[in-house]
Amino acid sequence: MKNLFFIVLICVFVACGGSKKAIQNTTPDEHTTTEKKENPPTVTVPVEEKAPDTTIEKVEPEEEVEEVLPQQKETMTPKEDPKTGIIEAFNHQSWNDLLQKHVSATGTVRYIGFKQDYLVLKSYLEALRKNIPAENWSKSDVLAYWINVYNAFTVKLILDNYPIKSIKDIKEPWDLRFFKLGNKWYTLNDVEHRILRKMGDPRIHFGINCASISCPPLLNKAFTAQNVDHELEKLTIDFINDTKRNTITPSSVQLSKIFTWFAKDFKTEGSLIHFLNKYSRITINSNAKKSFKKYNWNLNE
């Protein structure tokens, strides 16, 4: 009996030990809640908040910025005539300064000097581009503007091709569409034939300069609203009575080819002789013989 009891006791002990081990190895079922370890949150730093790089950044050279010259500031500012109190629509002072500096009283042009002052000229040309004539401009302002445009851009054309012996060394110089005013591109022929000649004043032919010896001399001052009428009148008188360009007697005249190229412009109030007699110091007979001189296209320097 004792032996039987002892056997039963051993069996119970073995059964209890196995159950404990089974419980320890059991996988929790779907109803068993187990706390999961969460991953640490990822922090995204905005680009603008990142610490700056401590390395030295290579700085690219900035686009070259031209100095705003005093002449350019003056050009952009309308000028008041101290005598009349009239305010010009456009101030041509920087162009006037260049002409005074690089053009002689007889019209000889020092293109090398213009080349040395090219930034000043460029500033003036840029001011012309940004300030085209408006409806409220006077006729004198408009006339002065376009004559100065023609002369200044002719100088630029020569400088862009310098050194040369003649403007005619440039292919089709008067038909090159090389400058812009406002939003439109122009040629020298556009300015002369489609603008200036249509203003109905034949004296413009003695104010614009084609960079050649036989041309009317380049005036060594800028045209302005105040002086354009007076200067054109003086230039016309001087040109017609210049014996290098015209030979005048009462019975015959040897004239510049300007008077045949633009004959129509000089006949709006009568004959060519009638126009010449308005300015000539020698009275020309109405039936005087006319001939025309050879034109010298060599550069006016």
Please give the model's pTM, rounded to 2 decimal places: 0.74
pLDDT band for 88, please (50, 70, 90 cuts).
confident
pLDDT of residue 2: 47
Q: Beta 184-186 vs 252-255: how paired, if at all?
A: unpaired
pLDDT of residue 62: 33
63 compared with 210, residue with greater pLDDT: 210
Let me know: does 78 contact 91? Beta carbons within 8 Å: yes
pLDDT tens readout for residues 196-253: 999 999 999 999 999 999 999 999 999 999 999 999 999 999 999 999 999 999 999 9
Q: Is the pLDDT of residue 124 over 80?
A: yes
Let me know: does 72 contact 119? Beta carbons within 8 Å: no
pLDDT of residue 82: 57
Percentage of the chain modeled with pLDDT above 70: 71
Residue (of 125, 129, 150, 170) closest to 210 by Cα position: 150
pLDDT tens readout for residues 14-60: 444 444 444 344 443 433 333 343 444 333 333 322 233 333 233 33
Q: What is the mean pLDDT of the chain?
A: 82
pLDDT of residue 156: 98
| Cα 4 from Cα 12, distance rounded (Å) | 13
Q: Up-side HSE of residue 268: CA atoms within 13 Å toward CB?
A: 10
